[in-house]
């Protein structure tokens, strides 16, 4: 699970760096928000940024192995694929692993992971 969260944070950092390269208005705050909260018998982890977002034509492909929009040498296209696989494996064990990705082009991205936790 640590690798999943690190991959999502790394992608947010890359999105913010790309937005900065493309130019942002002075005074624009660039941010990554990370939240974890318990909902009944689940934990929901959300990672959101206000980077460049994911284009509509790419959103359906982001979980496929080797798909990347990053420049050569910057990414392998495996981060989200591996993350998805880890969550699916948790789903098989917990029967409740879920993930969601939302994005607005040139505006923001949100990745949300929901996993079951056993109550003591």
Domain with residues 2-116, CATH architecture: 2-Layer Sandwich (3.30)
Q: Mind listing the pLDDT tens digit for each residue in 4-56?
A: 888 889 889 999 998 888 888 888 889 999 999 998 888 889 999 999 888 88
Average pLDDT for 67-95 = 72
Domain map (residue ranges) of the chain: 2-116
Q: How many CB atoms lie within 10 A of CB 55?
A: 11
Angle at the Cα of 65 from the Cα atoms of 85 and 49, rounded to 5 degrees: 75
- Which long-range contacts link 82-88 to residues 24+ away (Cβ below 8 Å)? 82/3, 82/4, 82/7, 83/3, 83/4, 83/7, 83/8, 86/1, 86/3, 86/4, 87/4, 87/113, 87/115
**pTM over 0.85, yes/no:** no
């Amino acid at each position: 699970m640590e690798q999943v969260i690190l991959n999502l944070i790394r992608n947010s950092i890359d999105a913010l760096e790309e937005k900065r390269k493309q130019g942002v208005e002075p005074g624009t705050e660039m941010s990554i928000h990370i939240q974890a909260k318990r909902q009944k018998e689940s934990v929901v982890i959300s990672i959101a940024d206000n980077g460049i977002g994911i284009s509509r034509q790419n959103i359906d492909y982001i979980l496929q192995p080797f798909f990347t929009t990053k420049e050569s040498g910057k990414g392998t296209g495996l981060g989200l694929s591996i993350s998805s696989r880890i969550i699916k494996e948790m789903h098989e064990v917990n029967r409740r692993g879920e993930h969601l990705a939302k994005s607005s082009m040139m505006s923001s991205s949100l990745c949300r992971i929901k996993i079951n936790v056993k109550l003591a």
